[in-house]
Structure 1
């Protein structure tokens, strides 16, 4: 398993950036990463995950990818309740609404990401494959509409 897959599948490593965002230092990621606050679909409690901003379509629209597919807890929570909060760059806890994108649009956006960041995509794709055990994992995309 490569270092990226280890990071993705080791809980404390994956959660470390959450503490950085919650302490008010999310700006150090330069808008490349965001903190997504969402509601647990059964508990109703606030949940947090840090995800890469795959695309900044506009100041109020950010696209993220679910590397663990539709089984990722944050993805399933947004499916149940699309209202969420986003911290990105200097903006903190901005109310947002999640739009789960279809297979074709997700594939198109992921291809565009790969064209813009080929080296990053090559490493990320390999890490996702190692972490999921799937040769061609489905990677759904989510558009976050910030208010």
Structure 2
């Protein structure tokens, strides 16, 4: 008798403290991939990721498409967006995982903080496949109004 009362008390405490992870529903998110946005659709129950679908993408066939084909099932199996990416498709993998996490955040009732961008011209540099790449970004009134890549030497259609 004491055991069943204890078990019932624990169960009621878990339910009353919001033990459910998600608001059941279907959520969409999109993150920039290698060749454009990767849009995902995630369906959740109160306590599980039920499905992950890639609904739109333009990832490279044979490279990014490997991540598109395999990561949704891996995410459902792991019940988390924190899964191993696909070797050779790191940008596509990261986009899928971030878009899924965006959906899970929605399902948990989390809202993204508004983004405040500082007006001005900004420059960043990174080493690409064929040397240093400079990116110049112009921001005005909380919007990116121009992006330039002067003097870039990346491989046509790949970089």
User: Which TM-score bucket, shorter chain as reference?
Assistant: under 0.3
Higher relative contact order (CA 8 A, sep 6+): 1
Bigger Rg, structure 1 or 2: 2
Q: TM-score, normalised by structure 2?
A: 0.23
Greater helix proportion:
1
